[in-house]
Homo-oligomer: A and B are copies of this chain.
């Protein structure tokens, strides 16, 4: 299901936020490196698409209407995630002149790193970061071979030769579509879950291994054959939402869907699905410079969350 075209024009919303911030269309235009008439027209077409007047234009500038404030608030959320996306992309690019090399598991890279990188940029703006994503083994290799200055893994065991610090927590969760029978019960036994065919990641994936490992610890060694195997988290989510069947995914992956009730979380009895996310580095070589900054940022985020929990 494609996104409605109404919200595809991020530049327009970005301009709207600048108007809110700077108080006039002309100044916003200058901030975006465009002429005042262009900005003016752009905002008018934005209003036309939205269908509501967003700006009150006066001879002394322009202010947001109530509806404009709402739209600006929603748009700010979109743009904040877009900034995350940009930070992530920047760290993926192969302009490998730079100094901070990070290796991370997919979960960390997807859900935590972008915000950290933005924070890092405000601490040391000139540090370019290169991100290499892979499974735990890959991360350990990179760090041990000193191809990465800092690594982030989600395994419970820290590979030999590496020192570590816990920077966040993750959890596997079982989710179903709201229409699924399990959505009402909100709890199933581990045995039942294991015996039920599900939508699943491919065998080698960290999520799948963690799930099978957790079941193994609980004494369950046989799982049903998956209903469907896919390599992309989004694809699995789409299948689960579409009602194909239950899925097991990282809490971070599905938090938004659970909050919005497009997916329902089902507790699984008697299985420990929790796992710590750790920063790792070669034993004895305490991170220095930007790597140390990034480690501090990651750790502080954790502390802060604990404050509020």
Contact = CB atoms under 8 A, between A and B. Distances in A.
A133 B52 CA distance: 13
Interface in A84-118: 84-86, 88-89, 92-94, 106, 109-111, 114-116, 118
B309 A235 contact: no
A32 B2 CA distance: 6
B71 A92 contact: yes
Oligomer copy total:
2
B304 A82 contact: no
B86 A3 contact: yes
A81 interface: yes
Contacts of A78: 78, 81-82, 84-85
A297 interface: yes
Interface in A112-126: 114-116, 118-119, 122
A206 B51 CA distance: 27
Interface residues of A, number: 85
B232 A21 contact: yes
Contacts of A119: 260-262
B178 A122 contact: yes
Interface stretch (A9-17, A217-225, A281-289): A9-17
Interface stretch (A62-70, A142-150, A151-159): A62-70
Nearest to A257: B80
Contacts of A73: 106, 110-111, 233-234, 253
B118 A83 contact: no
A287 to B, nearest CB: 18
A21 B2 CA distance: 12
A58 interface: no
A210 interface: no
A76 interface: yes
Interface string A137-175: 000000000000000000000000000000000000000
23 contacts: A3-B10, A3-B86, A7-B82, A7-B83, A10-B10, A20-B234, A51-B89, A51-B92, A51-B94, A52-B89, A52-B94, A63-B231, A64-B231, A64-B232, A66-B134, A67-B92, A70-B109, A73-B234, A73-B253, A74-B84, A80-B81, A118-B260, A118-B262
Q: Give the top 6 A-B pairs by smallest Cβ distance, nearest first.
A: A73-B110, A20-B232, A119-B261, A74-B85, A115-B260, A78-B81
Given A3-B79, A7-B10, A75-B85, 6 more contacts: A2-B32, A6-B89, A21-B235, A69-B106, A73-B110, A119-B260
